[in-house]
Amino acid sequence: MTNPSYQDRGLLIVVSGPSGVGKGTVCGMLRKRNPNLIYSVSATTRSPRQGEQHGVNYFFHTKDEFFSMMEQGELIEWAEYVGNYYGTPRQFVEDKLNAGEDVILEIEVQGAKQVKELFPEGIFIFLLPPSMDELKRRIMGRGTETVSAIQRRLHVASSECKELSMYDYAVINDRLEHACEKIESILVAEHCHTSRVIIED
Ligand SMILES: Nc1nc2c(ncn2[C@@H]2O[C@H](COP(=O)(O)OP(=O)(O)O)[C@@H](O)[C@H]2O)c(=O)[nH]1
Ligand SMILES: Nc1ncnc2c1ncn2[C@@H]1O[C@H](COP(=O)(O)OP(=O)(O)O)[C@@H](O)[C@H]1O
């Protein structure tokens, strides 16, 4: 028997959850606390919010540019969400995973389904709010959407939460630090999963 070792391909971590639950905030803190975690920057046709930067928060594209990326197979997955398109650039994610780095995708449910088909070994985490009232408070408190956009996002939120069983883990984002710690524990455990151990005869 050879000495046991862990597989050196990185983990693909998918974080989904309703708008306003705190995906961006939680992933931001995770990245700060774990600088080795790689964040995949998505492509989108939505307009930048105040302070958002091209290449940092998103790659902001026109619809024509986005459709051309889709047609060229440059996206791992894509989805239409409340009137805008979002997708994950393929090359960056594949390169990082092959280099043994862990990659986080912060994406909605339809995209997560497509990723699960392509990467069944991925780790699928769903962030839940402590309550629907708190979700409303957070999304309204963020102040980035119009009232009608908030309503549409909250409407989508209830159907998104029905897809919970597709995910491996549910993390309630009550206190930010607790949510981060739970995700960090999941990642430690997943790195030790038996499917990642190599022992040759
Ligand atoms: N399928 C898919 N969804 C994405 C991608 N990038 C972001 N999203 C999701 O699109 C939804 C809307 O994102 P955004 O407009 O930034 O709103 P926010 O999540 O409420 O801040 C959220 O659920 C994001 O997680 C992507 O590359 N693919
Ligand atoms: N654990 C938390 N407790 C209280 N407020 C939070 C928490 N996590 C996030 N928020 C706040 O909720 C709002 C939405 O968070 P955000 O990360 O933008 O959500 P998402 O990316 O899921 O749409 C922001 O104003 C953020 O500061």
Ligand 2 binding pocket mutation candidate from 106, 137, 138, 174 (most atoms within 8 A of CB): 138
Residue 126's closest CA among 176, 161, 151?
A: 161
State the distance from the centre of ligand 1 to the C-alpha of 82, rounded, in angstroms: 10
State the distance from the centre of ligand 2 to the C-alpha of 20, rounded, in angstroms: 6
Residue 173's closest CA among 21, 1, 15, 13?
A: 21
21-30 pLDDT per residue, tens = 999 999 999 9
Which of the four pLDDT bands, split at 50, 70 and 90, describes residue 103?
very high
- d(CA 136, CA 179) in angstroms, rounded, equals 19
Task: Spell out the domain ranges in the chain.
Answer: 5-198
- The alpha carbon torsion through 22, 26, 28, 34 (nearest 10 deg) reads -170
Residues touching ligand 1 (Cβ under 6 Å) are 19-20, 23-24, 42, 46, 77, 79, 81, 86-88, 106-108, 110-111
Q: What is the mean pLDDT of residues 42-70?
A: 97
Decide: 123 and 12 in contact? Cβ < 8 Å: yes
What is 5-198's CATH number? 3.40.50.300
Determine whether the shortest distance from the Cβ of 142 to ligand 2 is under 6 A.
Answer: yes
- d(CA 194, CA 6) in angstroms, rounded, equals 9
- The alpha carbon torsion through 137, 140, 142, 147 (nearest 10 deg) reads 170
129-185 pLDDT per residue, tens = 999 999 999 999 988 889 999 999 999 998 999 999 999 999 999 999 999 999 999
Determine whether the shortest distance from the Cβ of 175 to ligand 2 is under 6 A.
Answer: yes
The number of angstroms, rounded, from the C-alpha of 147 to the middle of its chain's C-alpha atoms is 25
Average predicted confidence (pLDDT) for the chain = 95
Q: For ligand 2, what atom is nearest to the CA of residue 18?
A: 22
Per-residue burial over 122-134, b = 16 or more CB atoms within 10 Å of its CB, e = otherwise: bbbbbbbbeeeeb
Q: What is the mean pLDDT of residues 95-124?
A: 97
Q: For ligand 1, what atom is nearest to the CA of residue 88?
A: 27
pLDDT for res 201: 78
pLDDT for res 145: 87
Phi then psi for residue 193, to 5 deg, are -60, 140
pLDDT for res 130: 96
